[in-house]
Amino acid sequence: MDTFGNPKIKSGEIEEAMDFCLNQVINNLPKFTYKFQNAYSVDGFYQEIDNTDWTCGFWTGELWLSYEWALEHERTDEANKLHEAAKIQVESFYQRIKNKVAVDHHDMGFLYTPSCVAAYKLTKDERAKEAAIMAADQLITRFHGVGNFIQAWGSMDEPENYRLIIDCLLNLPLLYWATEVTGDNKYRDIAQKHIQTAVDNVIREDYSTWHTFYFDINTGKPSHGSTCQGYQDGSAWARGQAWGVYGMACAYRYTREEEYIEKFDGVLQYFLNHLPQDLIPYWDLEFTDGDQQPKDSSSASIVACGLLEMAKYVSDEKAAEYMAIAGCLLKSLYDNYQVKDVNKSNGLVLHSTYSNHSPYNTCNHYGVDECNSWGDYFYMEALTRMSKDWNQYW
């Protein structure tokens, strides 16, 4: 993408945006301390749920990002409040993994990285560390040596579930962290095998990506790609592509495989080349302005995080380009997508799409053109990354 002509977010705007996010998170504490945010808002407002969905870690992650911001800006009372609430949520995550409540899937990283790994990194909370290691142990039970991948959903012996999904790349930093803190290489070895299998199969020749990819249950041989949440099998689901961008940045961070730089860039360019005028994608990259389809603003925030992570490992010139693009994405999110009126929403970023049913996909229909929990979280993460050399949770 040529960033010429596209405004970038300015440091004063980052400050304003983070102050808004912090205030909104604080306002939400009475509702979401002993309860969690639903994955998506309804008419702009999140409802309370128990800690049972794959998305519950994002709200706790927002508490930690807000805590960091409050501490740095000497808002000590607010930092203390956030810390207290986050600790209550970490205990909930401890109980969830200990009692194996709704953990029969691969999203242990999405759940435990922004909640418990963050808690351990920021406050040396040993109970959070224990919870996150249990979550890593749970995640590796889903690894198939026949095919070398972590199975996303469903029971492990069903041919119709013998598949990985691109989103899983963000579950893997939990495994690298587990190896780092335990000294046991089994977590890292499984992550590395999964990454290579994913890279070899979900990225198509033109660098668009499959959402899900199947393997033969008897031989492990790659079988075929398909979509669940994208418009149709051959299209590129915007968020899948975004998970691919951030996922490849994380993969490079942990493996330093040269091949992944090229894959990162290819998947990124495909995403950028399919952006509409205001740089925020429609829910599937097949669509553009005039198609009257909903947007997925969360994809832009996820890609901004991937760009800012990858900028650490490339030449100065390339890093400047990646940071400039991230700045443009964030400027558009800040100007046109961030919630401005707290009477209209208790979230942070509008116009995301969770699950948009089409005649050609297999997902249910909910959370369309709403806030969603990861969209809010990754917006805050991207702003945080812009504001300092962030000690990342992932």
Residue 198 CB, shortest distance to ligand GLY, in Å, is: 14
Complex with ligand GLY: residue 334 or 354, whichever CB lies closer: 354
* Binding string, residues 305-344; x marks residues near ligand GLY by CB under 6 A: ----------------------------------------
Strand 48-49 to strand 222-226: parallel, antiparallel, or no bridges (unpaired)?
unpaired
Residue 350 CB, shortest distance to ligand GLY, in Å, is: 17
Q: Which of 53, 107, 125, 376 is catalytic?
A: 107
Angle between helices 76-98 and 126-140 (to 10 degrees): 40
- 372 beta partners: 40
Which among 239, 226, 243, 242 is positioned nearest to 367, based on CA atoms?
Answer: 239
With CB under 6 A as the rule, give the number of residues binding ligand GLY.
Answer: 4
Active site annotation includes 296: no
Rounded Cα–Cα distance for residues 267 and 109 (Å): 22
Complex with ligand GLY: residue 69 or 379, whichever CB lies closer: 379
Residue 229 CB, shortest distance to ligand GLY, in Å, is: 6
Amino acid at position 329, single letter: L
356 within 8 A of 232, measured Cβ to Cβ: no
Q: Could you give the 3-state DSSP secondary structure of residue 52?
A: coil
Query: Which residues inside 69-128 make contact with ligand GLY, applying CB under 6 A?
Result: none
- 239 touches ligand GLY (CB under 6 A): yes
Amino acid at position 227, single letter: T
- 296 touches ligand GLY (CB under 6 A): no
Complex with ligand GLY: residue 188 or 239, whichever CB lies closer: 239
Which among 148, 252, 248, 138 is positioned nearest to 190, based on CA atoms?
Answer: 148
Residue 207 CB, shortest distance to ligand GLY, in Å, is: 19
Residue 309 CB, shortest distance to ligand GLY, in Å, is: 18
Please report, for residues 47, 169, 181, 258, 375, the alpha-carbon distance to residue 141 in angstroms, rounded to integers and kept in the order given: 32, 16, 19, 29, 29
Rounded Cα–Cα distance for residues 320 and 317 (Å): 5
Complex with ligand GLY: residue 167 or 376, whichever CB lies closer: 167
The pair phi, psi for residue 288, each rounded to 5°, is -145, -175
Active site annotation includes 167: yes
Exposed/middle/buried for residue 304 (C-beta within 10 Å: 0-12, 13-18, 19+): buried
Rounded Cα–Cα distance for residues 25 and 318 (Å): 34
Complex with ligand GLY: residue 13 or 309, whichever CB lies closer: 309
- 163 touches ligand GLY (CB under 6 A): no
- 167 touches ligand GLY (CB under 6 A): yes
Complex with ligand GLY: residue 67 or 231, whichever CB lies closer: 231
Q: Which of 125, 167, 284, 296 is catalytic?
A: 167
- The catalytic residue positions are 107, 167
Interacting residues toward ligand GLY by CB under 6 A = 167, 229, 239, 354
